[in-house]
Amino acid sequence: MREAADTHHPYLVAVVGSPRPEGNTDYLVEAALADLRAVGVRCEKLVLADYRIQPCLGHDECADIAVCPHHDDAEPLLEKVYAADGLILATPVYYEDVSAQMKTFIDRNYRFYMRDRWLQPRAVGVIVVAGETGLDETVATLRRYLALSSQRELPVEVVSGLASAPGDAAAQPALLDDVRRMAAWLAAALLSPPSP
C-alpha cells in the first residue's frame, strides 16, 4: 500500500546503478539531491551495489506467491520506490546500456507488474553518464521501464552526458547546470499541490 503523501515534505527516491562510490554518476545525483533537500524534499538515495539483489529467476507464478523466494533486499527497496512521490533513476552506460545493477533492479519489478502494482511518482528525473557512446540506448531502456511500470505517462526530465575518468562530471559546469535545472523541475513538480 502506498504511504500517505506528505504535501509539505514530499518523498523522492534516487535509484543509483553505479557500482563506483563517488563516481561521476554519484556526483551528479548528489548535486540534484542537495538542491532538492534545500527546498524541503525528503530524499533517499539507494545505491544498488550496496544491497543484495539477486537476478530474477523467471518464476511464472509471481502473481500468485506472497513473498519472492529470493528473500533478498529487492522487495524492501522496491516498496520505497513504489511509495515515492518523486523518482530519480541514474546509471552509467555499460556496454551500450544500463549497468548490471540497474538491469537487475529493473527485472525484479516483474513481480510488482504481475500483481498490478504501479509506480506513482509525480515526476521522474533520469541521469545517464557515458564514457563514449550508448546514451540514447540507455535512456530508452529507462523510459521503457517507466512505461511498463506505470499505468499513466510519467513526466520525465533527462540529463545525459559524457564523463569517463574520475572527476570528469565535476569539471563540466554545463552538465552540472543541467542536473540542477532538473532538480528545480522536480522540486516544482513535487512541492506544487498534487493534481486531483
CA–CA separation, 183 and 34 (whole Å): 9
CATH 3.40.50.360 describes domain 11-191:
yes
Give the whole-angstrom CA distance, residue 117 versus residue 110: 10
158 strand-pairing partners = 126
The secondary structure element, H or E, covering residue 133 is: none
Q: Give me the residues of the chain with pLDDT under 50, please.
A: 1-7
State residue 60's pLDDT score. Answer: 75
Q: What pLDDT is recorded for position 58?
A: 82
